[in-house]
Amino acid sequence: MAKFEEGLRYSESHEYIRVEGEYGYIGISDYAQHALGNVVYVDMPEVDDEVTAGEEFGAVESVKAASDLISPVSGTVVEVNEALEDTPELLNEDAFANWIIKVQLSDPSELDNLMDVEAYKAHCNE
pTM of the model: 0.97
Residue 80 lies in a domain: yes
> Exposed, middle or buried: residue 53 (CB in 10 Å: 0-12, 13-18, 19+)?
middle
Domain contains 52: yes
Q: Is residue 96 part of a domain?
A: yes
Asked if residue 59 lies in contact with residue 84, where contact means CB atoms within 8 angstroms, the answer is no
Q: What digits encode the pLDDT tens for the residues 36-64?
A: 999 999 999 999 999 999 999 999 999 98
Query: Could you tell me if 101 and 51 are in contact, meaning their C-beta atoms sit under 8 angstroms apart?
Result: yes
pLDDT of 16 > 90? The answer is: yes
Domain count, the chain: 1
**Residue 99 confidence class, pLDDT cut points 50, 70, 90:** very high
In a domain, 77, yes or no: yes
Provide the pLDDT confidence category of residue 1 given band limits of 50, 70 and 90: confident
What percent of the chain has a predicted confidence (pLDDT) above 70?
Answer: 100
Residue 66 lies in a domain: yes
**pLDDT of 3:** 95
Question: What is the structure's pLDDT at 77?
Answer: 98
Q: Is residue 2 part of a domain?
A: no
Residue at 91 is within a domain: yes
Residue 126 lies in a domain: no
Q: Could you read off the pLDDT of 69-98 as tens digits, one per residue?
A: 999 999 999 999 999 999 999 999 999 999
- The pLDDT, as a whole number, for residue 45 is 98
CB contact at 8 A, 84 and 98: yes
Domain that holds residue 25: 9-121
Q: Say which CATH number the domain at 39 has.
A: 2.40.50.100
High-pLDDT (> 90) share of the chain, %: 97
